[in-house]
């Protein structure tokens, strides 16, 4: 016969289980996502029903309106719909439709995927579309919207993802695409004034590409919990290692490319107690074969903005315009935030709630004879708007490389706090 405390434990456990399956609990979980605010039309509208396992989202006006699109104003309708089943299978769908008024052209992309072994994150995803694709997906703000950063892409792809052992993920994808320049597109008259020399589209011969890509990610000592058949990742205290292998397959479906690219990188978020935290990233990449390597397939680096301090872990502050290479490279980035560990101990100054930050970055492209080094330091302050936490900063940056003499500049930055991971972007 069970003891009184054992019976009490069973009763409480049953009550907790019943609560987590109740309409009240689901409504509470969904309330933050479903909440309507004055900024909802600007940011986006979505509805989530955890009890039914459905979730959809339509991005807001700020994402739909593109006044500096290809050919001038374009209107975009992006969104997604997900459905989680009772067996923890997950159906995901995403897409967008994009219309340009000057050239009267409709573009778009859609994808659908199914996770059918949730314990191992096994998922198959299919995508297809025709759209204006960015040559460099992580360009400077000015370069991002300029015509020199776009090409026309018609593509279809299939990707297979799974977790091999705990923390070791792999995704194998195949993409077939037709790449062509946008030199025949009618551009808006004002775009030359806005983008200057960056407004000239890249000229190249149209080509067909069949590419096989393997992405491998290893989170050392990954922590997780199980809920039914679902595995929930909690993170790791060790560095994350990433491998990328790309193969341009000649002759397959009339593919005209022939190249092999390999990249390895490592990154980490390092808490140092009361002295703040550091983030770092090391990357090395090389083309093992470039018998038929087109300029769109080169390795691209983010160009620097004039006054904006971009993510220092994945970009450089004084690199100049967007840089690319068909050769090997090595990069290193480091940033440390003291989180008030120094200024917070100085009388009067601590009332300002300021923090110190500093770091450095280096890029080496030996075959091009290019070497770049930069260092920076700045003051930061956290601010809160509604429920979102931001960090604004002013930084002094200096650099030296083989293309120009020592450079120096002031920049401002804006950092965002992720309430889910409980970490800053950088």
SS3 for the chain is: CCCHHHHHHHHHHHHHHHHHCCHHHHHHHHHHHHCCCCCHHHHEEEEEECCCCEEEEEECHHHHEEEEECCEEEEEEEEEEEEECCCCCEEEEEEEEEEECCCCEEEEEEEEEEEEEHHHCEEEEEEEEEEEEECCCCCCHHHHHCHHHEEEEEEEEEEEEEEEECCEEEEEEEEEEEEECCCCCCCCCCHHHHHHHHHCCCCCCCEEEEEEEEEEEEECCCEEEEECCEEEEEECCCCEEEEEEEEECCCHHHCCCEEEEEEEEEEEEEECHHHCEEEEEEEEEEEEEEEECCHHHCEEECCCCCCECCCCCCCCCCCCCCEEECCCEEEEEEEEECCCCCHHHCCCHHHHCEEEEEEEEEEEEHHHCEEEEEEEEEEEEEEEECCEEEEEEEEEEEEEECCCCCEEEEEEEEEEEECCCCEECC
In Å, how far are 84, 108, 155, 210, 395 from 45, measured between CA atoms?
A: 20, 20, 29, 37, 36
Domain-by-domain residue ranges, the chain? Answer: 106-424
Architecture of domain 106-424: Beta Barrel (2.40)
Name residue 207's beta-bridge partners.
179
Q: Spell out the alpha helix ranges (H) of 86-190.
A: 141-145
Looking at residue 8, its pLDDT comes to 57
Looking at residue 138, its pLDDT comes to 82
Contact between 330 and 308 (Cβ < 8 Å): no
For the record, the structure tokens of 259 come out as 């190249």
Pick the more confident residue, 337 or 342: 337
Q: How confident is the prediction for the chain on average, in pLDDT?
A: 91
- Asked if pLDDT for residue 333 goes beyond 70, the answer is yes
Contact between 211 and 247 (Cβ < 8 Å): yes
Average confidence (pLDDT) over 84-99: 96
Any idea how long the chain is? 426
Pick the more confident residue, 359 or 390: 359
- Asked if pLDDT for residue 344 goes beyond 60, the answer is yes
Contact between 107 and 130 (Cβ < 8 Å): yes
Q: What percent of the chain has pLDDT over 90?
A: 67
Residue 184 and residue 130: Cα distance in Å, rounded?
A: 16
Looking at residue 19, its pLDDT comes to 46
Average confidence (pLDDT) over 246-254: 98
State the distance between the two ends of the chain, measured CA to CA, in whole angstroms: 57
- Asked if pLDDT for residue 15 goes beyond 80, the answer is no
Average confidence (pLDDT) over 153-171: 98
- Asked if pLDDT for residue 425 goes beyond 50, the answer is yes
Read off φ and ψ for residue 70, nearest 5 degrees.
-65, 120
Average confidence (pLDDT) over 165-185: 96
Average confidence (pLDDT) over 407-423: 89
- What's the pLDDT band for 118 if we cut at 50, 70, 90? very high
Using CA of residue 212, residue 217, residue 218, residue 224, what is the dihedral sign?
A: negative
């Amino acid at each position: 016969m069970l003891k009184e405390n054992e019976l009490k434990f069973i009763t409480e456990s049953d009550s907790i289980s019943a609560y987590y399956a109740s309409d009240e609990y689901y409504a509470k979980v969904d309330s933050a996502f479903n909440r309507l605010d004055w900024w909802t039309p600007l940011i986006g509208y979505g509805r989530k029903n955890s009890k039914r396992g459905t979730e959809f989202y339509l991005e807001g006006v700020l994402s739909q309106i593109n006044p500096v699109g290809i050919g001038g104003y374009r209107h975009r309708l992006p969104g997604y719909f997900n459905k989680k089943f009772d067996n923890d299978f997950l159906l995901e769908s995403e897409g967008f439709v994009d219309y340009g008024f000057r050239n009267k052209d409709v573009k778009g992309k859609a994808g659908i995927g199914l996770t059918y072994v949730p314990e191992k994150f096994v998922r198959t995803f299919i995508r297809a579309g025709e759209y204006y694709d960015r040559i460099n997906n992580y360009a400077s703000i000015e370069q991002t919207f300029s015509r020199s950063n776009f090409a026309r892409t018609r593509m279809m792809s299939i990707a297979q993802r799974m977790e091999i052992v705990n923390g070791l993920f792999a995704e194998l994808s195949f993409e077939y695409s037709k790449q062509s320049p946008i030199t025949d597109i009618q551009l808006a008259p004002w775009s030359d004034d806005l983008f200057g020399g960056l407004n000239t589209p890249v000229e190249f011969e149209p080509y067909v590409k069949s590419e096989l890509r393997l992405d491998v990610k290893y989170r050392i000592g990954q922590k997780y919990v199980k809920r039914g058949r679902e595995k929930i990742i909690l993170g790791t205290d060790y560095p994350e290692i990433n491998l990328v292998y790309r193969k341009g397959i000649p002759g397959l479906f009339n593919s005209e490319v022939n190249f092999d690219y390999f990249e390895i990188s490592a990154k980490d978020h390092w808490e140092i107690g009361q002295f703040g935290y550091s983030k770092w990233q090391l990357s090395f990449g090389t083309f093992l074969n470039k018998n038929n390597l087109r300029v769109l397939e080169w390795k691209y680096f983010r160009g620097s903005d004039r006054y904006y301090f971009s993510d220092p872990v994945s970009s450089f502050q004084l690199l100049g315009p967007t840089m690319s290479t068909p050769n090997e490279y090595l990069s290193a980035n480091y940033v440390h935030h003291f989180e008030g560990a120094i200024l917070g101990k100085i009388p009067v100054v601590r009332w300002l709630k300021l923090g110190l930050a500093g770091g450095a970055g280096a890029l080496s492209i030996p075959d091009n004879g290019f070497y770049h080094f930069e260092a920076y330091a700045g003051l930061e302050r956290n601010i809160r708007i509604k429920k979102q936490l931001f960090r604004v900063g002013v930084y002094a940056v200096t650099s030296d490389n083989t293309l120009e003499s020592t450079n120096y500049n002031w920049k401002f930055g804006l950092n965002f706090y992720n309430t889910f991971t409980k970490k800053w972007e950088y």
